[in-house]
Amino acid sequence: MESKSMSNEELQEWVEHISLESFGVPFKHQARFNARLSSTGGRYFMKSHHIEINPHQLAAFGRSEVEKIIKHELCHYHLHLRGMGHRHRDADFKAWLTRVEGSRHCQTLPGRLERKPRPYRYKLVCVSCGQEYLRKRKMNPQHYRCGKCGSKLRLLALDGTP
């Protein structure tokens, strides 16, 4: 059963099995894959109690890593339903995660490291003192003032044109 892909039904059975095995309590909600997740391994929905798992993690790192992600999400699930600390910063969450050997963070998917940050494209310049503020996105300078002297700002493209 070392397949790199599986259906939502197989994922549901797997999550139910892990819940009973690691937590001793059944998982009574829905687990499904969501291919749109890009920077996270999975997520837990507090209102519906459903869990979504990133299928790219399964393809890239296999079942053992995804099992740790499932345990992470099940910690959120079971702690939330019990009214205990279910957030990442809570001691209950950290203790349960350690006990069931879940992952604190998922591995970075191949290709995500290659993304470069966008360069600065705009510059705000104070009309009074000349203080410069670099920005990646265009913004309306009429809504802002200089943090140094309080004067108006002027927006320039980094090539120098207004």
Residue 60 has φ and ψ, to the nearest 5°, of: -85, -40
Three-class SS of residue 74? helix
Domain residue limits, the chain = 8-100, 122-157
Q: What is the pLDDT of residue 51?
A: 97
CATH of 8-100, one of 3.20.20.140, 3.40.640.10, 3.10.150.10, 3.30.2010.10: 3.30.2010.10
Q: What tens digit of pLDDT does each residue of 3-17 get?
A: 467 999 999 999 999
Whole-prediction pTM value?
A: 0.69
Average per-residue pLDDT for the chain: 91
pLDDT digits (tens, 9 = 90+) for 118-147: 789 999 999 999 999 999 999 999 999 999
Rounded mean pLDDT, 89-115? 88
Q: What is the CA radius of gyration of the chain?
A: 23
- Out of 9, 67, 73, 114, the active site residue is 73
73 is annotated as an active-site residue: yes
> Using 50, 70 and 90 to split pLDDT, how confident is the model at 39?
confident
Give pLDDT tens digits for 21-33.
Answer: 999 999 999 999 9
* SS3 call for 22: helix
Q: Residue 161 — very low, low, confident or very high, per pLDDT cuts 50/70/90?
A: low
Q: Residue 111 is encoded by which pair of tokens?
A: 């290709």
Residues whose CB is less than 8 angstroms from the CB of residue 56 and which lie 6 or more positions away in sequence, other chains included: 35, 37, 109
